[in-house]
Structure formats: C-alpha cells, structure tokens
Structure 1
Amino acid sequence: MSLFPEEPLDSPVGYFPGQLNQTINNGRWTLIRKLGWGSRSSCWLATDSEDPENFKAIKIYTVSASKDSCSTNERDILQKMRDLRIYWNVPYRRDCFYEESEVGTHLCLVLQLLGPSVVSLLDDSTESGRYLPLHAVKQAIGEILEALCKLHRNSIIHGAVTPQNILFSSFEQGPFIRGFISENPSNCGENVADPAGKVYHVVKSQPMNTYELKRDSPATDIARLIINLSNYSHARIVSENVILDSPSNILPPEASIEGASIDTKADIWMLGCTIYTLLTGRELFENAPGTLSPDALEKVLAGIRVDLSATKAMSKNDAKETASIIKVCLRVDPAERPTASRLCGYRWVQSGMYCSCGWCATDP
C-alpha cells in the first residue's frame, strides 16, 4: 500500500509540500484548501493578503516540471490567450511567480477558481453510473467546442482534450466561497512517516462545488454552469514540427508518424475519443491509434455504435447519430475531420445546447 494517497511526496520530481494556512509569494497568498493534483503539479485554493475576499486557484508545478518546457509553455499559452482576450470556457491566468520549498523551486500560476471535472459526476457503484447521460455529454461537448473554436482561430492546439480536463465553473465571490468552506471544511492533513522515519505532511484534495449537480441532473441544471477546457501544459502553437506529449492512446494517428504535420485537427480526434469515454465509461483505444493496422483501426471504429447501444442510455437512433459524430472526429486523414466551428453546427451538438437561462434549447 502506498504511503501517499495522492501525489508521492517522496518522488524525485519534487512535489510541493503544501500545508493549510501556509503563506507563499512572500506572504501574498495563504493556502486554505487543496483542490487537486496531477503528474506535474498540485493545485491549491488561496486567499489574497491584500484582499481577503479575493480567492484564486494556484497551480504549483513540481520542481522537475518547473525546469522543463511544459510549465513555461502553459504560462506562455495562457498569457497569449489573455492577450487575445480569450476568456470564456477557459481558465484565466492572473499572475505567476516562483516559490522555494525544501525540495526546490516551483513555478506557480495564479488562476481563476474552477470546480471539479465532469468525471466527478460519475458513480462507480452501479454499471450505469460509470458513464454520463447523453444530455450531459452533449452540453459539455458543445461548450468545449466553443472554447476550441476560439483557440483554433488563433492557431492554438489544446493538446489534451480529455474528460479530466473538462471542468465546471465554481463560486468566484468571496462570501460564497467562505460559506461553502464553512459547510465543507478543508482537510487539514496529517503527518505520515516513511520506513526511514522521515515525516511528510499529507493533505487530501477537495475540489470545490458543482452547485449540487449529480449524474442524473437535468440539462436545465447543467446549463446554469459554465463548462471550461483546462490544463494547457500540453498546448502548442501551430507551426512546423509540432510534437504532442499527451498520453499516446488519445493522440491522433498523425502523431505517430515522424515528420507528419500536426495542427488543430488533433484536438478534434481527441474530442471524438472523449465523447466515447464519457458515454461508455472506458477508453476507446488501449494503445496509440497510429500503431494500429488499417484493419485493426477499422474494427475499433466499427464497434463504436455497438458499444454505445450496449450502455442502454440512449435510443437506437441516438446511438447511430452519436456513433456517426464520433467517427467523423476520428477520420484518419486530418483534412477530412471537421473544424471545431463546423462541428458546432452539427445537429447532434445543437440539440444539446441549452442557454444559460436553463429553459430554452437551440433549435436543431
């Protein structure tokens, strides 16, 4: 059994050893809740000493990641998005700084506070709970496409369109955040010792609310929240010799071909994989699609409609239409995949887009 329930604090990559009420950036920010963690960073809710009602999420990279291009890449991409005034359905970078800890130097990004990912709505206690209802997936995909439209118009490849990076909005005003934390206190953490006796302070993640959304919440409830495409550490600007570094099983076939041109259509491939995962509860590909033979790839694609029908979460017509849009996204030739803006006009997407009032839907 692992000593650490979340990020391995003894890892040589150097995770930030955070604690509640710890101050960083020369006392400017106070950590009051751990929001989550990943392979390259952990994320914390912090309050501003200059304005106690100003709450932000601070993404703190590992020492190793702070030294490589992934962290500075996200910092620079988010700055470019800010300069281009791309605000909606994406995180907004407020500031950045470097912080010293006992394990080294960490790059820190100050971001707007977001809620948990759509994956948080899944319920593993029942088979049907391992995937989302069709209306929830349509709403999420529609809003993510809006983000992709803005990114792609500015030659930005997101590079990691996955369910884990699709986040709900959260409270932004201080009184609401304080009220939520009062009712849902932050985990203060505990000290654990390794076999050699070295003590680590372990804090478990507690994402912020989803406004009491549940897996079976109606489309009108989901429509009241903004859905965001987060995590730009894998993002790239379209240019010659673009290389993507996301997990190989979500990368498009062209990513496996040396010297192949990679552009924004890579995101469309990942979007197709994400639709499938959200509706079935499993990954479409086990390994890099580009390593499959044409026959093996065609066999996977041919099974999509059968897999969707097996969930019993949609009618036969819905399964047919949904399989069709997934396959459109998964065309091997990038030139044959639709653009994000064109996908926004597809009936499958249009039929699931409820406006923020929660009552009206776009006419399909």
Structure 2
Amino acid sequence: MTENPLEYVDGKFLAVEPGQEIGSGELKHRIFAKLGYGSFSTVWLVSPVGMKSTEGGGWRALKIMSANYSNASQEVESVKAVKNCNVDVAGCVDTKDSWLEVRGKNTYLCLLMQLSGPSISEFMEFRHSWRKRCLLAKNVVEVMAKLHHGNIFINDFTSLNILIKVRDDVQTYTSDIMMAMIKSKSENVRQVITDKNGTQRYEPPAEPIPKRLYGNASFIKLADVELSLEIIDVHQDGPENIVAAAFASPETLQNKPPDSKSNIWTLGVLVSITKRLNEILSECYPFESNSRIDVANEHNRFFALSKEDQRQRFSWCPDYPCSHARLIFNRNRQERVIDLLMKIFIQRPDQRADLASIIEMVNEIVSEESEESEESEESEESEESEESEESEESEESEESDGSDELEEPEEPNEPEGPEGLEGLEEPIRANSFSLENSLESMNIS
C-alpha cells in the first residue's frame, strides 16, 4: 500500500527514493526504504553519510512534512513534553536535527527521529498468543497512565501512532543485514496513453510525480520481545492532529478538545479493534467507518441498545478458525474483556471508568492469564508461528503470480533501481491499475 501519486501533482509531498542522499553537511543522510506515510508526511529509513547527527548517528527515521509546514520548534517542544512524562517518543528531539528542503516555491521540513519498529496496527495483522496480547494491552494502558499523570492528552492515540520499539542490536546492522531483515516492495507509476486509433500504451509520468512508489517496509522481525512502546505525532497543534473517526469519542466528533475521558474512549477502541478484527484483547471493532458522520450514527445506534444487546455486540468473534478462536477467546476471557469495554463505551463522559479502574481490570485479566496452563500457551504460540509462516508463504505466492484477468497494453522497460543499493534484492512490483486509473483521470501528459 502506498500514498496516492496525485499527492505529488501539486507538490504536496517531496518525491524521494531509496539510494538518494538528502540533507547536507553533518545532516546528510542516505535513504534506504519507506517506513510509512500519513496525510501530512512521509517517513523513511535513513543512515548518516557524513558526520553523525546530534543523537549519535546509526539507523534513523526521517520524517518529511508536506509542503510549506515548517514549525520544527513546536514539534521538538511537544516531543520533550511527552518525554518528561517518562514516555518514549519517536520524534525529533532537537531543532539541530531538522532542516528545510527547497523545491521551487515549496519548502519541506525534514525531521530526524530515532528508529522505531512496527505500529500496533501492523503488529496485530498477525495472530498472537493471549500472553502477547495481554502484555501489549498492559503496555498501552501504562503509556496512557503516564501521559495523564503529566496532564497530556494525545488526541490521535491510535494503533497507527503507537509503535513497538526495535531490538537493541538493530543499530549494529549493516545495510545488507538490515535490508534482508525488512520487507520492502515498490510499484511502478504508469500513465495510460490512448492514441487516436484507440490503442493504449504505458508511459512513465511526468515530474513531479515519481516513476516509482514504495510500500511501507515491514519491521515485524525487528520488534522488541517485551513489546516496549513509543508514540509518534505528539504535536497537538500540528496538521496531523486529526483523530481517526473510528477512534473518536462522541464529544470528539463534536470538535471538543481531548481530555482524560475522551482518551479513555480511544483507549477502549484501541484494545478492541484492528483491520482484521483481532487487535489486542477483543475481536470486535466497535464503530467501523471512515466517516465521522457514520461513526456518530453508529454511536447513537449503540447507545439505543439495551445493555444485554450491547454486550452481545462485543461478543462476536468472526473470522478465525474455530481451534484458534477457542484458544484465544474462550468464554471466560471474552466476558472479562466485555466487562472492560462496557465500562468505557458510555455516552456521558463523566460516567466512563477512570484510568485507575481500567488499570485494575487489565491487571486482573493479565494475572488470570499467567495462571493458565503451559499447554494452552504452547498451543497458542504454535498457532501464532504457523500463521506467520502461512502469511509469508501467501505473500510470496501472490508476488510470484502477478497475473491479471485484464489484458494490459505493452509496457516500457522497467526503470532501473536506485543506485548505491547493489547486491540487494529488487522489490517486486505490485499491480498498479489503481495508479493508472488515477493518472488517466488527471489527463497528465
């Protein structure tokens, strides 16, 4: 999955690619892979080329903000405020680790950050044992407790903005080892040209659209075994302070500022959902929609239900094989998680459970888990390992297939890979029909 190539048409995003060097002097870095993107930034895996930066060099993350956003000092102050709560942050800690890239009339703020592992959202795309789920839930609640103790309420406290740290030995990896450990794919961006006879052909797009887009590299294999966490996008007045609709409390949807109770609601969503309906402790996505209006309507329908029907809504365990569902979501575990969610998803903020009560309930769930038999745990871990292997085999099979029912016009030669990454396996191209259709609709020539 990549960002929309049309984001580059008006220069909103700065087009960069692996192998390219960016910055100058002590801050000159070489780009190796894409780590992620959002509505207002892209993030890249980099390593210093010249002298080391203020945090000691090694593998870093480089966040490139969208055009003409240049508030580095406020970003740094926000990161420091969160760090003062004893919460780790993947953010720029010194304005000396920032600079501006100028392209024509546009400027792009670049922020060096410490390297982090996968987001909770990415991590939970795989099956995990109940022990790991409990550990992750406990760590998430502890992070929020530290923030609240420091009177900081992060609006966008979601599974995409909470990252699992990388292992300590990652900073010792050579480029060859690093690129072998992470998965990185790319797509060619192609424009469909139709001549007067109706014949179609592919051509590379014109600048500023890049000829290739890069998917997010996977850091699953580099995740810290204790699932230690850090957060990103902590600048509450920045352009990224837009909470995802599915995580928003009723009052947040009314554009009220975040507080402890709206954060509690977000925490409830976080411990109960993901794209594959298997986030941390539950198999239920409470309010699933990308539209704020639709989510608000979902809230109202939920509040109109009886307590019994509300509990039933949380008890649905959809798409896992029965053997795995029985191991992970047995009746006792499910009921304890539903008890937790029922104390969170309450319309009136003042009636929701406070953080101390949530911590107590999560600790009870975790302590119950520790008393369960080793045999059950071993079965769960075995299921988890098989799932990971099956997922990798499935990805390899999809990549090697590459077939499509639609007949494609003849393509030009593939653009060469970025220089300076010799010996590394070239990422496999994904199907690019969505990109072609977008570019064709724009009539770009």
Q: Find the partner of 1:202 among 194, 201, 212.
A: 212
TM-score where L is the length of structure 1: 0.74
1:328 to 2:343 alignment: yes
Q: Distance in 1 between matches of 2:86 and 2:146?
A: 7
Gapped regions of structure 2 (runs ≥ 5): 194-204, 274-278, 371-445
Query: Which one has the largest radius of gyration?
Result: 2
Aligned residue pairs, count: 324
Aligned-partner Cα distance in 1 for 2:182–2:272: 36
Equivalent residues in 2 for 1:90-239, closer than 5 Å: 90-94=89-93, 95-101=97-103, 104-122=106-124, 133-171=129-167, 173-176=170-173, 178=175, 180-184=177-181, 192-195=189-192, 197-199=205-207, 200-207=210-217, 209-211=219-221, 223-233=225-235, 235=236
1:175-230: CA deviations, max 9, x gaps?
236453252478596764535841523242343533367xxxxxxxx753313333
2:32 corresponds to 1:32: yes
User: Separation in 1 of the partners of 2:333 and 2:183?
Assistant: 42
How many angstroms apart in 1 are the aligned matches of 2:4 and 2:299? 38
Letter in 2 for 1:146: E
Pairing 1:3-82 to 2, within 5 Å after superposition: 6-11=2-7, 12=10, 14-27=12-25, 28=27, 29-48=29-48, 49-51=50-52, 54-63=58-67, 66=69, 74-82=75-83
Quote the Cα distance in structure 2 between the aligned partners of 1:228 and 1:352.
26
User: Is the 8 Å Cα contact of residues 59 and 115 (structure 2) preserved in structure 1?
Assistant: yes
Q: For the residues of structure 1 that align with 2:319 and 2:181, how far apart are their CA atoms?
A: 38
- For the residue of structure 1 that corresponds to 2:117, the secondary structure is strand
1:339 equivalent among 351, 354, 365: 354
State the match for 2:419 in structure 1. Answer: none
In 1, the alpha carbon distance for the partners of 2:103 and 2:246 equals 35
| Cα displacement (A) at 1:283 | 5.3
Q: For residue 302 of structure 1, what is the aligned residue in structure 2?
A: 311
- 1:18 counterpart SS class: coil
Structure number having the greater strand percentage: 1
* Distance in 1 between residues matched to 2:77 and 2:15, nearest whole Å: 25
With over 3 angstroms needed to count, the CA separation of the structure-2 counterparts of 1:223 and 1:24, relative to structure 1, is: closer
Distance 1:285 1:208, change over 3 A: closer
The match for 2:200 is: none
Q: Is the 8 A contact 1:309 1:316 kept in 2?
A: no
Kindly indicate whether the alpha-carbon contact (under 8 Å) linking 2:184 and 2:217 is maintained by their aligned counterparts in 1.
Answer: no
Q: CA deviation at 1:328?
A: 1.6
TM-score scaled by structure 2?
Answer: 0.62
**Equivalent residue, structure 2, for 1:280:** 283
Contact 1:75 1:109 survives alignment (8 Å): no
Q: Work out the CA distance in 2 between the residues paired with 1:261 and 1:185.
A: 38
Structure 1 residue 252: Cα displacement: 0.7
Q: Check the 8 A contact 1:79/1:93 in 2, yes or no.
A: no
Q: Hey, what's the Cα distance between the residues in 2 that align with 1:292 and 1:152?
A: 28
| Offset from partner CA, 1:18-66 (integer Å, 9 cap, x none) | 12232323242222222121222111111122139522111111116x2
Q: Matches of 2:269 and 2:85 in 1, distance apart? A: 29
